[in-house]
Amino acid sequence: MTLEDRAPKSAIDSGRSAADREWFERIVVELLSDLYGTALRLTRNRADAEDLVADSVARAWSHLDELADRARLRGWLFCILTNAFLSARRTDTRRGVQQSLDDENNDGFSLFEQLHAPILLWWSSPEKEFLNNLLREDLTRAVDALPEPFRVVVVLADIQGCTYQEIAETLQVPIGTVRSRLARARGQLQKELWTHARDAGLVGRKEMKVTTES
């Protein structure tokens, strides 16, 4: 059951005008591609993503009076969507569905360092070639493979463009945690891209370079 089913009619009645509803619908429809894209990266499932978008839209309308500046509806919708996802996941966590990050030993992994060949610098650039050949599906697969806490922080920072402060508030963690989690998440994302490219024969089958950079 989704929020749109659950929400009592009284919760989404609020004496707003038809112009309000028209404005709201126009913005939502304009943003639908981005809302759905963000929801899909968070849930990794099309049906769940659609439910999440619909729930968020219903939630936004029922709480519209809390939005002081209507020019901020866009960011507010993404905030509601992310919080709705996190809220559902916290319930799952209480039920014991939790992913540990302890085993993810990818601190400091750098795709650039794997690809970069300084001796060829003047006549070749493997890293540029890699990016030129990078497919959306490769990146999607790599993001989807991240453990949830890493995926969420990548979605917030890289897909939604949130600041560290905004992420810290959303996740209710200190800014230092945001910074370190984001660094680890990107390290793992790049390792996924590298492993896939290597297995597909898109880059040389050389041994992974080990780095101690943090």
Beta carbon nearer to another protein, 17 or 95: 17
State how far the Cα of 85 lies from the Cα of 42, in Å rounded to an integer: 8
Beta carbon nearer to another protein, 97 or 131: 131
CB 29 to another protein: min, Å: 7
State how far the Cα of 145 lies from the Cα of 83, in Å rounded to an integer: 21
Please give the full DSSP string across 101-150, using - where no structure is assigned: STT---TT--HHHHH--GGGTTT--HHHHHHHH--HHHHHHHHHTS-HHH
Q: How far is CA 128 from CA 22, 55, 133, in A?
A: 46, 41, 9
Interacting residues with another protein between 14 and 53 (CB under 8 A): 15-18, 20-21, 24-25, 28-29, 32-34, 36-38, 40-41, 46, 50, 53
Is-contact 34 74, C-beta < 8 A? no
Beta carbon nearer to another protein, 36 or 73: 36
Burial 61-96 (b: 16+ CB within 10 A, else e): bbebeeeeeeeebeebbbbbbbebbbebbeeeeeee
Among 74, 179, 196, 198, binds another protein (CB under 8 A): 179
104 lies in the binding site for another protein (CB under 8 A): no
Binding characters for another protein, 67-96, by CB under 8 A (x = yes): ------------------------------
Where does this chain bind another protein (CB under 8 A)? 4, 9, 12-13, 15-18, 20-21, 24-25, 28-29, 32-34, 36-38, 40-41, 46, 50, 53-54, 57-58, 61, 110-112, 116, 118, 121, 125, 127-128, 131, 134, 136, 139-140, 143, 154, 157-161, 163-164, 179, 182-183, 186, 189-190, 213-214
